[in-house]
Structure 1
Amino acid sequence: MGGLGVPNGPVGLYVRRVPIFSHYSDRAAARPGTGRVRRTRRATALASTAFTLSLLTVPAALPAHADEGEPNGKNAEPRPPAQMSTVGGTQLGRPGTQVKLKPGAPKLPAKVTARSWIVTDAESGKVLASHNAHWRLPPASTLKMLFADTVLPKLPRDRTHKVIPADLAGMGEGSSLVGVKEGESYTVHDLWLGVFLRSGNDAVHVLSAMNGGVAKTVKEMNERARVLHANDTKVVSPDGYDRKGQMSSAYDLSLFARSGMQNKDFREYAATATAKFPGETKKKKNGKKQRESFQIQNTNRLLTGDVGIDPYPGIAGVKNGSTTHAGNTFTGVAQRGDRVLLVTVMHPDGQEAHGVYKEAARLLDWGFAADGKVTPVGQLVGPGGAASGGGTPAGKGGEAGGPSGAHAAARHESEPSGGAGVALGITAGVLVALGLLAYGVHRRWPLPDLARRRRR
């Protein structure tokens, strides 16, 4: 549909053999034909009710911005606040690295420079280790996970929309683009490919317009964050572009990924390595008009690889980002054997090429090696009805509240719902084929309190 050449069906059918393009980098570059403008890089399950309530506590006052941590000097790196949210456990509210190694457990990797990171067991929600997990930092395009978790269930994938100039208004200078054109029509499916693969802010703005506008979408994203107990998060722009006051945390981004991955369409897009995107309609020599298309590749380099970085075995998404204030950010999910891990890395020091991916890979390697050899330091809490405690309010546009009726009614059957936070277990197969190698990823995403279902 829409000239995609991407068939409907299981996730694996969406992923193609992908050449590792040598010209991909994190530096500013233009992708001919895609309209892509690259920005410059810079240096669960729910526990018992009693346990969950014990986690939803918070200090009386929390700093609102990343830079409110005290620096060592004029040009020094900012420090995390002395007190942060304790959603998920009191230890997660402490600055610095939090880990409880048992005898024989591997040490954490030494070369991890990120300001904030977290490694969790995706199925149980147990936090294996963290570093400033609740430090509120600019999220960049990883915030698109919350955008997708909020909006994706509301719009049928075969719905078509003709783009008007107002749809693309308000995008920040230097925004990443997939190449949406005014006057052309796109399906919702087309646009989500643009969001997940190319991090297209143009696709985000068109989907927001289809959802009733940017302001309405931002309000719903803040409401959704409260439902997920992602209380470190304040949304100002749905695409993650740097805006004053826009913040999230490694903990919250992990909540967004975990919630989104319950949805089969979200999983499908997150795991897609390459696809065709509709181009412009042009008149041929015979006088007939024909819609062109071009190939787009996922910018998640743990999925597709790049010069100096290999695809990560078992990777199945989720989202990367980069802006001036956020630096590089990344949330990824991977499986090895029966273990599924979720990792979020925010703002490495920028000294290492593809550092955000390499640091994420090191933390994933450690997490798999540490299986059964660490005592959890916290928990990814499950979604609830009304938000309570556990963090600073989102501010204007981010009042606590449940999902809108339209949102709740439109959730896919594979999506969690219910006031107590119900999660649906799903088994999915993902084929990530890269160059001459193909990784078969038998990807479970169950939560242990409900039956597992296999996608066929």
Structure 2
Amino acid sequence: MGIDARVSKKAGAVALLAAAGVSLTSIPAAANGATARQPAAARAGVQAPTDPGTARLPSGLSALSWMVADADTGNVLAAKSPHRRLAPASTLKTLFAVTVLPKFSAGTVRRVSSADLDGIGAGSSVVGVRQGRRYTVGDLWRGVFLRSGNDAVHVLASMNGGWRTTADEMQETARKLGARDTTVKSPDGYDAPGQVSSAHDLTVFARAGLANEDFARYCSTSRATFPGAGGATRIENTNRLLVGSHGMARYPGIIGVKNGYTTKAGNTLIAAARRNGRTLLVTVLNPQSKEYNAVYKEAGALLDWGFRTAGTAQPVGTLHAVRATDEDGGPLRPVAADVTPAPRGGSPWRGPLVLAAGGAGLAAFGLGAVLARRRQTRDGGVRRGGTA
């Protein structure tokens, strides 16, 4: 497998999220299922609360598909075509991280070979990994999350047994998480024939990821250093809602997660934010308005709507928990195989879950209420071409 060192992690109960004074509390480890049963025509369109007095959805939403979900309760607050299968671009790196990140400790060192970098797609976003240089696994994950580096993904996939093996493991992880709309062909999210995901599935991946302290830390990092030929160089996250750049202000309470772009996928984004004790996830796929920063503006508008609406209106559906048979990595068994309406008046879950799946290399951690502050960061941008 070409692995210099490999360290397995066991599930833990408390995790630190360094997100400008933002912390997540008791996010369940994973999700399975989607929104409530509705006629096919309704499922293909917009699903939103109809309670009297509920805030109207934002105007001008042009994305082909989107979802707003409460990360703590699993309630789906609103969605448009949540199971429409679309190219995900680099938001698929969330599934890559959920699958591979728990396998190697951050301090593990890898000397990059030419084989590690084989097959990087033309025009890919890269962080600057060089053959013959040594990188820690932590360096590589910062390259994945901040710069969407397909070169870093290739090295980590090589450590994991290869490109095809990693794609197969990601597919198995998606299956165990109940994400049935996803087909993995290229683990970095680069456009490949047949590769698709959905707003539902990407929300599931982000939610499972945020239950892992390392994922939560990396996806919320705005600025870091990366080894370069002349010494450490500064890299900034390409998520404009996180860093505040290119005409976008940093979103209040932003946690982060992942943005992406390819020619086929257009702009894609999974954004998580926490305000007033509530954590929301918004996934937006391929806005059609052609407006500058459309994916960020639409995600921000949906987050604003969600924070106004959450807890006051009947959800349109719920995400279901997936439990492991034992904490050390037995087979996963979904609580429910299909979707059901969300109950009124509370969460369907009673506390955090722990998820582990040795076969897919998946281990997620329950999140606690540890609070951390992080300094403000300078602007960062999005790299276009391939995935970003």
1:122-133 correspondence to structure 2 within 5 Å? 122-133=71-82
Shift of 1:379: 1.1
Give deviations 1:332-387, integer Å, cap 9, x for gaps. Answer: 11011111111000000142111101100000000111133321111122225257
Give deviations 1:42-93, integer Å, cap 9, x for gaps. Answer: xx6599xxxx9xx96xxxxxxxxxxxxxxxxxxxxxxxxxxxxxx4431396
Q: What residue in structure 1 maps to residue 270 of structure 2? A: 331
Match of 2:44, SS state, is coil
Shift of 1:390: 5.1
Shift of 1:129: 0.4
Q: What residue in structure 1 maps to residue 253 of structure 2? A: 314
Q: 1:243 to 1:436 in 2, by over 3 A?
A: closer
TM-score (norm 1): 0.69
Give deviations 1:208-235, integer Å, cap 9, x for gaps. Answer: 0011111110010000000100000010
TM-score (norm 2): 0.80
Q: Report if the CA contact (8 A) 1:114-1:346 is conserved.
A: yes
Structure 1: which amino acid aligns with 2:361? H
Does residue 361 (structure 1) correspond to residue 300 (structure 2)? The answer is yes
Shift of 1:165: 0.7
Match of 1:115, SS state, is strand
Shift of 1:156: 1.2
Instruction: State the alpha-carbon separation in 1 of the partners of residues 282 and 16 from structure 2.
Output: 25
Instruction: State the alpha-carbon separation in 1 of the partners of residues 203 and 360 from structure 2.
Output: 25
Higher relative contact order at CA 8 Å, sep ≥6: structure 1 or structure 2?
A: 2
Q: 1:261 to 1:183 in 2, by over 3 A?
A: same
Structure 2: which amino acid aligns with 1:177? V
Shift of 1:177: 0.2
Does residue 258 (structure 1) correspond to residue 197 (structure 2)? The answer is no
Match of 2:224, SS state, is strand
Does residue 90 (structure 1) correspond to residue 37 (structure 2)? The answer is yes
Match of 1:182, SS state, is coil
Gaps of 5+ in 1: 1-8, 17-43, 57-86, 281-290, 392-401, 417-423, 438-456
Instruction: State the alpha-carbon separation in 1 of the partners of residues 131 and 28 from structure 2.
Output: 43
Share of identical aligned residues, percent?
Answer: 49
Q: Report if the CA contact (8 A) 1:273-1:304 is conserved.
A: yes
Aligned pair partner of 2:107 in 158, 168, 175 = 158
Q: What residue in structure 2 maps to residue 205 of structure 1? A: 154
Q: 1:15 to 1:195 in 2, by over 3 A?
A: farther
Aligned pair partner of 1:302 in 224, 241, 246 = 241
Aligned pair partner of 1:407 in 343, 355, 361 = 361
Aligned positions, number:
333
Give deviations 1:300-322, integer Å, cap 9, x for gaps. Answer: 10000113210101001100000
Structure 2: which amino acid aligns with 1:90? R
Q: Report if the CA contact (8 A) 1:329-1:356 is conserved.
A: yes
Structure 2: which amino acid aligns with 1:134? H
Q: What residue in structure 2 maps to residue 426 of structure 1? A: 368
Q: Report if the CA contact (8 A) 2:87-2:196 is conserved.
A: yes
Match of 2:78, SS state, is strand
Give deviations 1:129-185, integer Å, cap 9, x for gaps. Answer: 000011010000000000000000001111101001110111111000000000100
Q: Report if the CA contact (8 A) 1:158-1:187 is conserved.
A: yes
Q: What residue in structure 2 maps to residue 20 of structure 1? A: none
Q: Report if the CA contact (8 A) 1:45-1:381 is conserved.
A: no
Match of 2:368, SS state, is strand
Instruction: State the alpha-carbon separation in 1 of the partners of residues 213 and 139 from structure 2.
Output: 16
Match of 1:330, SS state, is strand
Instruction: State the alpha-carbon separation in 1 of the partners of residues 39 and 104 from structure 2.
Output: 36
Instruction: State the alpha-carbon separation in 1 of the partners of residues 74 and 243 from structure 2.
Output: 27
Instruction: State the alpha-carbon separation in 1 of the partners of residues 118 and 272 from structure 2.
Output: 33
Instruction: State the alpha-carbon separation in 1 of the partners of residues 190 and 216 from structure 2.
Output: 23
Does residue 349 (structure 1) correspond to residue 288 (structure 2)? The answer is yes
Q: What residue in structure 2 maps to residue 276 of structure 1? A: 225
Shift of 1:429: 2.9
Does residue 242 (structure 1) correspond to residue 181 (structure 2)? The answer is no
Instruction: State the alpha-carbon separation in 1 of the partners of residues 155 and 171 from structure 2.
Output: 19
Instruction: State the alpha-carbon separation in 2 of the partners of residues 167 and 115 from structure 1.
Output: 35
Structure 2: which amino acid aligns with 1:91? Q
- Larger gyration radius, structure 1 or structure 2: 1
Q: Report if the CA contact (8 A) 1:218-1:238 is conserved.
A: yes
1:280-291 correspondence to structure 2 within 5 Å? 280=229
Q: 1:330 to 1:92 in 2, by over 3 A?
A: farther
Instruction: State the alpha-carbon separation in 1 of the partners of residues 151 and 377 from structure 2.
Output: 29
Instruction: State the alpha-carbon separation in 2 of the partners of residues 181 and 97 from structure 1.
Output: 46
Q: What residue in structure 1 maps to residue 10 of structure 2? A: none
Shift of 1:434: 3.4
Match of 1:90, SS state, is coil
Structure 2: which amino acid aligns with 1:431? R
Match of 1:434, SS state, is coil
Does residue 377 (structure 1) correspond to residue 313 (structure 2)? The answer is no
Gaps of 5+ in 2: 1-14, 22-26, 324-331, 340-355, 380-388
Structure 2: which amino acid aligns with 1:330? L
Structure 2: which amino acid aligns with 1:339? R
Instruction: State the alpha-carbon separation in 1 of the partners of residues 248 and 17 from structure 2.
Output: 24
Match of 1:173, SS state, is coil
- Runs of 4+ aligned structure 1 residues displaced above 6 Å come to none
Q: 1:202 to 1:315 in 2, by over 3 A?
A: same
Does residue 223 (structure 1) correspond to residue 177 (structure 2)? The answer is no
Q: 1:254 to 1:92 in 2, by over 3 A?
A: farther
